[in-house]
Amino acid sequence: FNVHLNMTLDMKPHIVVLGAGFGGLELTSVLSERIGDRAEITLIDKNDTFYFGFSKFDVMFGKKTDDAVKIPYSAIAKPGVRFRREEITAFDPASKRVTTDKGSYQADVLVIALGADYDMDATPGLIDGGNEFYTFAGANKLREIIPTFKKGHALVGVCGAPFKCPPAPSECALLMHDHLTSTGVRYECEITIVMPFPSPIPPSPDSSKALLEAFVERNIKFIPKKKVGFIDKPRKTAVLDDGSEIPFDLFLGIPKHVPPKVVIESGMVENGWVPVDRKDLSTKYRGVYAVGDVTAVGTPKAGVFAEGAAKVAADAIIAELEHGENPGPYNGAGSCYIEYGEGKVGRVDVDFFSGPAPKGIHHDPSELMMIEKEHFGSSRKSRWFGL
């Protein structure tokens, strides 16, 4: 790993970042700010736009269109950073060589920030007999279906764990209650949540209690410690992993999450995800880091945790390049906003690594917290895209 030598010869080290989600965008922003004049930074993603995960609810419930929530990567204009819209076809962590559908890149430092993909086939019947709301295609499909649902049983079902944004199933049910209430048909409908966790948000008993109370107030049934095994389309029934069955009229599913195929093929995956050193997000390959949902670092798969990990990884990369002081270890802290409906948002602040066990602090839902959530999105849009 001769990057320091290269810099002494006036050659800029090449940092290649795979994936332009929360992790990739924050990492390249930090690197640009601090060493943008002394490094060549390439950010690669197959998509032409970015969106916040929570914006899919706006699409799904007909509040906003795709175009209104997507942010073009073409807006990125940061010193030292070039964005490439290309499909990554392979990468070798040992040589740090990346191949795309349009060429190849040789990295001095390689960062894997490709997130998690969905295995729709892992839950037979999910696509043919149900719906999922974790892709834009799924959210758009539901945008057309939800207005036609006026009577019956709406089932929000998790098909595997871990999954991105743990509060999302609860949010989906609460927002569905809001929608059905506003259209005057809530009394004709049932809503149920099936989740593999013992409570809605295990690290925060107070947030879990608040959500369970909200479910009771809104007549939403919560079934813990179970997940959906398959969908029986002819019978419109969800079969759970313990063999029990739940009939439904509308199924809203969270598909099983898996690493992207290109990451699996790289050989970096162990026991489901990419292992990293918690203190600096480095992998077992010298000069190769991984941040966000693709890792097994021990935090939830959510953008805010990918962002926090990216800051630490960026510090570690700079320290490696410039023989500086290593950063403090990643503390696994982050805040997640929770949509309660009725124009109110709650928040849970979770710290996973500072103490002997994860600790969550609950903030009650309010209209002010909705404004804070909007600022969360707008501030990152400004920081990452200059918009």
Query: Measured between alpha carbons, how far is 228 from 122 in angstroms, rounded to an integer?
Result: 10
List the structure tokens of 211. 């959500």
pLDDT tens profile 250-309 = 999 999 999 999 999 999 999 999 999 999 999 999 999 999 999 999 999 999 999 999
* Residue closest to 336 by CA, chosen among 126, 160, 170, 159: 170
Quickly tell me which residue has 């892709």 as its tokens: 135
Q: Which of 5-14, 83-92, 191-200, 223-232 has the lowest mean pLDDT?
A: 5-14
Residue 325's pLDDT band, with cuts at 50, 70 and 90, is: confident
Q: Is the pLDDT of residue 217 over 90?
A: yes
User: Is beta strand 189-194 parallel, antiparallel or unpaired with respect to 344-351?
Assistant: unpaired
Query: Measured between alpha carbons, how far is 255 from 160 in angstroms, rounded to an integer?
Result: 7
Residue 193's pLDDT band, with cuts at 50, 70 and 90, is: very high
Query: Residues 45-61: what's their mean pLDDT?
Result: 96
Query: Measured between alpha carbons, how far is 226 from 248 in angstroms, rounded to an integer?
Result: 16
- At residue 10, the pLDDT reads 55
- At residue 6, the pLDDT reads 42
List the structure tokens of 361. 């602090």
Residue type, 69: V
* Residue closest to 88 by CA, chosen among 306, 207, 263: 263
Is 251 in contact with 238 (CB distance < 8 Å)? yes
Is 211 in contact with 202 (CB distance < 8 Å)? no
Q: Is the pLDDT of residue 5 over 70?
A: no
Query: Residues 220-238: what's their mean pLDDT?
Result: 97
pLDDT tens profile 148-165 = 999 999 999 999 999 999
Query: Measured between alpha carbons, how far is 95 from 86 in angstroms, rounded to an integer?
Result: 20
List the structure tokens of 321. 């390049």
Report the DSSP beta bridge partners of residue 366.
345
Centroid of chain to Cα 88: 19
Mean pLDDT for the chain overall: 95
Query: Residues 341-366: what's their mean pLDDT?
Result: 94
Query: Residues 205-227: what's their mean pLDDT?
Result: 98
Is 137 buried (19+), middle (13-18) or exposed (0-12) by CB count in 10 A? Answer: exposed
Query: Residues 6-24: what's their mean pLDDT?
Result: 83
Q: Computed over its alpha carbons, how large is the radius of gyration of the chain?
A: 22
Query: Measured between alpha carbons, how far is 264 from 274 in angstroms, rounded to an integer?
Result: 9
Eight-class DSSP state of 182: H
